[in-house]
Structure 1
Amino acid sequence: MSSSSSSEEFRTIFDAVVACVQMAEQTYDALCNNATASSQRRTQRYIFRNSEEANQRLVQDYFQEKVTYQGYYFRRRFRMFKGLYERIVEDVTRECNFFQQRYDARGTPDFTPLQKCKTTLRQLAYDIPPDALDEIFRMSARIARDSLHFFCQTVI
């Protein structure tokens, strides 16, 4: 009698395990189908940051003949002299292709070497995370992080 009851218990447990496996497979298939359907519907959002306006503001503030902020403010904000900053930008641009200005597929210009070096040096000087530069410098966290990475590689 014990062999028949143990085989019945085994059969019951086996049926329960099979049912659980089938339910898990159905749930997994449903999740996969939903994920592919939602990924087909989901598009990447584009944020127009107007990098040209940000570059014009940077040049107007620090690098034109009639600058908004005099040398004292440049030294205070960048923690170096303006001539040294310009030399760093020239050297890094010459050595690393990332810092050269490019155009994207739509024909709009990318960030200038001045902007990329500005965000890099601000990150180093003030220990700012890359995502904090979006509102100030109109630069995405990815570009700011890449600028820091390529700058450090170039300097090393």
Structure 2
Amino acid sequence: MWARVAEIAEQQRREQVLAAIPRPIRRRRAIHRNHAEAHDRLFADYFVEQPRYLAAVFHWHFRIHKELFLRVVNVLSARYEYFQLRIDAAGRIGLSPLQKCTVSIRQLAYGGTADMFEEYLHVGDKTGCEYLKKFLSGSKRDIRRHLSAEADCS
């Protein structure tokens, strides 16, 4: 019996020693995405005074008229902090409201996955899914109300 007690005590001591040994911290691999460059490219392609792609191409790519898209971006960025340009804890500039709404609306338009915007907008797949969820979670009511109010004023 004392042998069994000694064995259990030894096992507990070994576990304590192993618990005291520091384990390597596994961190996620950070992928540097140049959000400013992606925003500039998106802006130059569709939103400057003389864009690379005309309004018809915008409508074909986004399945929405550019003016309506810009109203949606303005409503979301005015109402929800999540759709505003922010700086993260490391001091890096995040995605612009145009990029966030582009990811959300194009996912809805094409029914595709979020990673289809990786190269063009520099948005990861988890981030794209997150933007779509935020876009759908409460913004629908505000956009509908804002658009109907503007239609009444016209």
TM-score by length of 1: 0.73
Shift of 1:48: 0.7
CA contact (8 A) 1:123 1:129 kept: yes
Matched residues in 2 for 1:103 and 1:70: separation? Answer: 32
Deviation (angstroms), 1:38:
4.1
Match of 2:64 among 68, 80, 83: 80
Per-residue CA deviations over 1:68-118 (Å, capped at 9, x if unaligned) read 001110010011111000001011112211001100123221100000000
Preserved contact between residue 84 and residue 96 of structure 2 (Cα < 8 Å): yes
- Work out the CA distance in 2 between the residues paired with 1:128 and 1:38: 37
Query: Counterpart of 1:117?
Result: 101
Q: Percent identity?
A: 33
The runs of 5 or more residues in structure 1 that have no matched partner are 1-17
- The partner residue of 1:63 within 27, 47, 70 is 47
The amino acid that maps onto 1:129 is T
Q: Where does structure 1 differ by over 4 angstroms across 4 or more consecutive aligned residues?
A: none
Task: Please say if residues 55 and 115 of structure 1, whose CA atoms lie closer than 8 Å, have aligned partners that are also in contact.
Answer: yes
Q: Are the aligned partners of 1:96 and 1:150 in contact in 2 as well (CA < 8 Å)? A: no
Tell me how far apart the structure 2 counterparts of residues 142 and 125 of structure 1 sit (CA, whole Å).
18
Q: Paired residues, what number?
A: 133
Instruction: Provide the residue aligned with 2:86 in structure 1.
Output: 102
Please provide the CA RMSD for this pair: 2.8
**Helix, strand or coil for the counterpart of 1:37?**
coil
Structure 2 matches for 1:5-84, cutoff 5 A?
Answer: 37-39=23-25, 42-84=26-68
Q: Normalising to structure 2: TM-score of the pair? A: 0.74
Measure how far apart 1:143 and its partner are. Answer: 1.6
Q: Between Structure 1 and Structure 2, which shows a larger proportion of helix residues?
A: 1
